[in-house]
């Protein structure tokens, strides 16, 4: 297994190792070991690409996907350990760098960490990585004992020869195993034999997070490092005309002021506080262009026009919705609107870059290591094999850190100062002003009811922004953005979980100058509100119980029906409630998983909402770590409920108006409902975890609110209606 090793100076190697705690400079061919052995930086041998075993029996599992709090790192390690038959207590992890992956022909697969894909789209090759290593270790033991491999077995990091009871530990077998070829035919365990997958194990990465020792890229320190603060054009698309450097050049610590890609100005100083203070004092003239006339009102007007526009992309259609609506006994129509929202990761965007004439390195938290590497190469002007990205733990990602804009900026700045590492850190204000926002969307939902109160036809018209059109136009399907329809697909991982006759779901794409981006769940947040609130409106119009009304349309959706029934039962649907309490239901499918929620609320003075409890259920097919899934459920509810109650990015004069958490609020512990999670994996498929549940809390609460108050709210956030979460 020969590997191409990027040229690396000894000084850079020391920096790498020091920066990330050692041992991460992978693929270095150190001058010991056999000719075919690939070694980690500490000299320990690789047993296949996914596993390194150290002489002290430590098992190092390689993790390609990024950890940003969602727990994939632990889940991925569980899957390797399951097949490896190692001792879980000895498992540790490391990230191979993106450049190493490229140099090794992408042996670790996809680095992208978004779309709730971390586990579900890598489970097969990751488990095979563990299984292959086990097979090599067992083979090595059999070779040493000169016995048939079929007489040997592995458990807890030890290979045992059955007849003789001889034993050898993985640490002792690693060198010999590493010299063997990686097997081609790698059988995997039957899920019923799993011992580590499916267990509610604790995360592997907690200890340093409670002592302050955990390094995020915002904490990066390198010898001689300078810090940069940046201000991008407040009106998206505007250009820098000039800035008055004389106003700040005498300020303490200031080293350099520069234009970055014509769209931003950066100040580099000895410390970040000096850089930020100077940047705040720097007069900058922008050429704003026509976008400075855009406002939330002008955007809303454009989207409202789209609600009745002729042209729209159709994604789900059966029968004749137009005729069915025209002849319906009763017709119901509702218009919902959903705003721009920012991610507001706790750790603002940042990256540290070190550029020299022949090499560029970046340290950053990224959800897409290879995209960050590509951005590094592009911005430095160096070939990919002269660049690398050292991935660090993210202080939250939520989709925002799948973009590499901040990496590009850091490299552009560092390139102006060759040999000096520069850490670029955005202020919170910059993060609010330069988001890649949850897209704005309006929807008109029209349905017909027959005399028995059954839906006879339905039309959902979406009107609003496409993420793909902005960030991955090549992924559009003849101009259509399928992700705008998450949860509304006719089939597939985002399928609509009702059987509705005479259905039409279409999207009038209305793009604006505000840059959209993937967000936790993204379009399921509003699509679940649109559909699940409207279904409650229809049940009410039909004079039927919302649960019974839903069940009628779910015969062909047994997995969704199962999660819905589970929350209805545990949530006490149809049973007597404490005085003043009201329930609301919602369910949805996305990222392959089936989820439902039953919210129990009370409302004081008509506008103070207390969520007492939310019962949530998810069927993820296989559940790798139920304890972490529970945390993703309750955590996603915080993100989703913060959004529906409090969060909106408004546009004025072409700029985002909100600047910090005082006007872009996020839920606190006092507002947190008790979340009771039902993790109910039915087996046979791999569904996502981090995102699917986010979308059911809001419609469940909104449906409960409508039952409590008789008021149906159709535009968000709720703060605009004077409604608060208490």
Partner 1 sequence: MARLTINGKAVNVDVDPNTPLLWVIREQVGLTGTKYGCGVAQCGACTVHMNGEALRSCAMPVSAAEGKKITTIEGLANKGLLTKVQKAWIEHDVPQCGYCQSGMIMAVSALLKEKPKPTDADIDAAITNICRCGTFQQVREAIHAAAKA
Q: Which of 672, 707, 719, 724 binds partner 1 (CB under 8 A)?
A: 672
- Answer whether 616's CB lies under 8 Å from 595's CB: yes
Q: Determine how β-strand 284-287 pairs with β-strand 455-464.
A: unpaired
How many Å apart are CA 637 and CA 52, to the nearest integer? Answer: 38
β-strand partners of 613: 600, 674
Residue 203 in the binding site for partner 1 (CB under 8 A): yes
Buried b (16+ CB within 10 A) or exposed e, 50-76: bbbbbeebbbbbbbbbbbbbbbbbbbb
DSSP label at residue 393: B
Residue 649 in the binding site for partner 1 (CB under 8 A): no
Site for partner 1, residues 381 to 420, rule: CB under 8 A: 393-398
Site for partner 1, residues 523 to 562, rule: CB under 8 A: none
Closer by beta carbon to partner 1, 124 or else 214: 214
Residue 344 in the binding site for partner 1 (CB under 8 A): yes
For partner 1, which stretch binds (CB under 8 A), given 86-94, 202-210, 320-328, 497-505?
202-210
Q: What is the DSSP string of 336-351?
A: EEE-BB----SS--EE
For partner 1, which stretch binds (CB under 8 A), given 94-102, 166-174, 198-206, 352-360?
198-206
Closer by beta carbon to partner 1, 578 or else 670: 670
3-state helix, strand and coil shares in percent for the chain, rounded to the nearest 5: 35, 25, 45
Residue 627 in the binding site for partner 1 (CB under 8 A): yes
Q: Which of 555, 605, 670, 710 binds partner 1 (CB under 8 A)?
A: 670
User: DSSP 3-state assignment of 153?
Assistant: strand
Closer by beta carbon to partner 1, 90 or else 203: 203
How many Å apart are CA 419 and CA 249, to the nearest integer? Answer: 22
Residue 578 in the binding site for partner 1 (CB under 8 A): no
For partner 1, which stretch binds (CB under 8 A), given 241-249, 421-429, 511-519, 596-604?
421-429
Among 699, 532, 704, smallest CA distance to 602 is for 704
Residue 369 in the binding site for partner 1 (CB under 8 A): no
Residue 209 in the binding site for partner 1 (CB under 8 A): yes
Kindly state the smallest distance separating residue 208's Cβ from partner 1, in Å.
Answer: 8
Residue 678 in the binding site for partner 1 (CB under 8 A): no
Residue 95 in the binding site for partner 1 (CB under 8 A): no
Residue 604 in the binding site for partner 1 (CB under 8 A): no
Residue 194 in the binding site for partner 1 (CB under 8 A): no
Q: Which of 21, 106, 273, 711 binds partner 1 (CB under 8 A)?
A: 273
Residue 217 in the binding site for partner 1 (CB under 8 A): no
- Answer whether 198's CB lies under 8 Å from 627's CB: no
Query: In the structure encoding, which two tokens stand for residue 710, read together?
Result: 């008789």
Residue 660 in the binding site for partner 1 (CB under 8 A): yes
Q: Is the preceding omega at residue 717 within 30 degrees of 0, hence cis?
A: yes
Kindly state the smallest distance separating residue 429's Cβ from partner 1, in Å.
Answer: 8
Q: Which of 48, 69, 118, 457 binds partner 1 (CB under 8 A)?
A: 69
Residue with tokens 């960490």: 113
Cα–chain center distance at 711 = 33
Q: Which of 9, 36, 156, 271 binds partner 1 (CB under 8 A)?
A: 271
Residue 634 in the binding site for partner 1 (CB under 8 A): yes
For partner 1, which stretch binds (CB under 8 A), given 152-160, 205-213, 355-363, 368-376?
205-213
Q: Where are the beta strands (DSSP E) in 273-349?
A: 284-287, 313-318, 330-338
CA distances from 316 to 33, 136, 491, 503, 550 (A): 59, 49, 9, 7, 19
Q: How many CB atoms lie within 10 A of CB 241?
A: 12
Closer by beta carbon to partner 1, 371 or else 394: 394
Residue 250 in the binding site for partner 1 (CB under 8 A): no
Q: Which of 3, 8, 142, 215 binds partner 1 (CB under 8 A)?
A: 215
The residues near 192 (Cβ < 8 Å, ≥ 6 apart) are none
How many Å apart are CA 100 and CA 660, to the nearest integer? Answer: 38
Give burial (CB, 10 Å; 0-12/13-18/19+) of 676. Answer: middle
Site for partner 1, residues 427 to 466, rule: CB under 8 A: 427-429
Q: Which of 346, 452, 475, 548 binds partner 1 (CB under 8 A)?
A: 346
Residue 662 in the binding site for partner 1 (CB under 8 A): yes
β-strand partners of 363: 352, 390
Kindly state the smallest distance separating residue 615's Cβ from partner 1, in Å.
Answer: 13
How many Å apart are CA 438 and CA 479, to the nearest integer? Answer: 20
Closer by beta carbon to partner 1, 93 or else 214: 214
Residue 202 in the binding site for partner 1 (CB under 8 A): yes
Closer by beta carbon to partner 1, 145 or else 216: 216
Buried b (16+ CB within 10 A) or exposed e, 275-285: bbbbbeebebe
Kindly state the smallest distance separating residue 653's Cβ from partner 1, in Å.
Answer: 23
CB-side neighbour CA atoms (13 Å) of 324: 22
Residue 668 in the binding site for partner 1 (CB under 8 A): yes
Q: Which of 303, 422, 425, 599 binds partner 1 (CB under 8 A)?
A: 425
Kindly state the smallest distance separating residue 677's Cβ from partner 1, in Å.
Answer: 9
User: DSSP 3-state assignment of 597?
Assistant: strand
Q: Name the site residues for partner 1 (rule: CB under 8 A).
A: 68-71, 202-203, 205-207, 209-216, 218-219, 221, 227, 252, 271-273, 344-348, 393-398, 425, 427-429, 627, 631, 634-639, 660-662, 666-670, 672, 674-675
């Amino acid at each position: 297994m020969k590997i191409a090793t990027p040229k690396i100076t000894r000084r850079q190697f020391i920096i790498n190792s020091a920066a990330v705690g050692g041992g991460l400079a992978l693929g270095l061919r150190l001058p010991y070991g056999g000719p075919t052995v690939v070694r980690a930086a500490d000299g320990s041998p690789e047993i296949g690409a996914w596993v390194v075993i150290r002489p002290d029996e430590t098992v190092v599992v390689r993790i390609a996907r990024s950890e940003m709090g969602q727990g994939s790192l632990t889940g991925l390690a569980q899957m390797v350990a399951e097949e490896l038959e190692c001792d879980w207590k000895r498992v540790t992890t490391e990230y191979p760098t993106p450049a190493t992956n490229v140099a090794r022909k992408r042996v670790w697969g996809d680095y992208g960490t978004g779309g709730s894909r971390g586990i579900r789209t890598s489970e097969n090759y990751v488990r095979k990585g563990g299984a292959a290593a086990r097979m090599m270790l067992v083979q090595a033991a059999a070779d040493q004992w000169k016995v048939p491999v079929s007489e040997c077995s592995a458990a807890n990091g030890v290979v045992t020869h059955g007849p003789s009871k001889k034993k050898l530990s993985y640490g002792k077998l690693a060198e010999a195993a590493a010299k063997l070829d990686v097997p081609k035919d790698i059988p995997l365990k039957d899920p019923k034999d799993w011992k580590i997958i499916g267990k509610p194990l604790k995360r592997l990465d907690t200890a340093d997070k409670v002592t302050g020792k955990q390094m995020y890229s915002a904490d990066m320190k390198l010898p001689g490092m300078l810090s940069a603060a940046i201000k991008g054009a407040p009106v998206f698309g505007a250009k820098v005309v000039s800035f008055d450097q004389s106003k700040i050049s005498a300020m303490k610590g200031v080293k350099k002021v520069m234009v970055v890609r014509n769209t931003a100005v950066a100040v580099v100083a000895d410390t970040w506080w000096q850089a930020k203070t100077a940047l705040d004092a720097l007069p900058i003239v922008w050429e704003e262009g026509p976008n400075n006339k855009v406002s939330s009102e002008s955007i809303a007007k454009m989207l409202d026009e789209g609600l009745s526009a002729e042209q729209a992309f159709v994604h789900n259609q059966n029968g004749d919705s137009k005729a069915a609506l025209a002849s319906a006994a009763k017709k119901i129509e509702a218009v919902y609107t959903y705003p721009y929202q920012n991610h507001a990761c706790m750790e603002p965007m940042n990256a540290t870059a070190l550029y020299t004439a022949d090499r560029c390195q970046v340290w950053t938290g990224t959800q897409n290591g290879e995209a960050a590497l590509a951005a590094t190469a592009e911005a430095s002007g160096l070939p990919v094999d002269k660049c690398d990205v050292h991935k660090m733990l993210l202080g939250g990602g939520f989709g925002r850190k799948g973009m590499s804009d901040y990496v590009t900026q850091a490299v552009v700045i560092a390139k102006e100062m060759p040999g000096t590492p520069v850490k670029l850190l955005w202020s919170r204000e910059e993060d609010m002003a330069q988001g890649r926002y949850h897209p704005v969307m309006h929807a008109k939902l029209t349905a017909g009811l027959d005399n028995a109160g059954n839906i006879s036809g339905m039309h959902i018209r979406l009107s609003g922004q496409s993420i793909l059109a902005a960030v991955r136009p090549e992924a559009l399907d003849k101009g259509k953005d399928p992700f705008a329809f998450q949860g509304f697909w006719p089939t597939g991982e985002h399928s609509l979980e009702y059987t509705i006759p005479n259905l039409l779901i279409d999207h009038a794409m209305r793009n604006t100058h505000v840059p959209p981006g993937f967000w936790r769940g993204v379009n399921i947040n509003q699509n679940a509100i649109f559909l699940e609130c409207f279904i409650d409106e229809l049940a009410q119009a039909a004079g039927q119980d919302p649960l019974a009304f839903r069940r009628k349309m779910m015969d062909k959706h047994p997995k969704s029906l199962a999660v819905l029934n589970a929350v209805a039962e545990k949530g006490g649907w149809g049973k007597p409630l404490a005085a003043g309490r009201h329930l609301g239901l919602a369910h949805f499918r996305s990222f392959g998983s089936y989820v439902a929620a039953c919210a129990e609320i009370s409302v004081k003075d008509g506008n103070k909402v207390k969520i007492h409890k939310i019962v949530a259920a998810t069927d993820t097919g296989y559940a790798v770590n139920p304890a972490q899934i529970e945390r993703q459920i309750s955590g996603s509810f915080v993100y989703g409920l913060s959004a529906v109650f409090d969060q909106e990015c408004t546009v004025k004069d072409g700029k985002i108006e909100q600047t910090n958490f005082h006007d872009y609020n996020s839920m606190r512990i006092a507002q947190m409902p008790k979340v009771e999670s039902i993790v109910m994996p039915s087996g046979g498929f791999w569904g996502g975890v981090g995102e699917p549940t986010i979308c059911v809390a809001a419609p469940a609460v909104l449906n409960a609110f409508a039952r409590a108050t008789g008021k149906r709210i159709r535009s968000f956030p709720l703060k605009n209606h004077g409604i608060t979460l208490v």
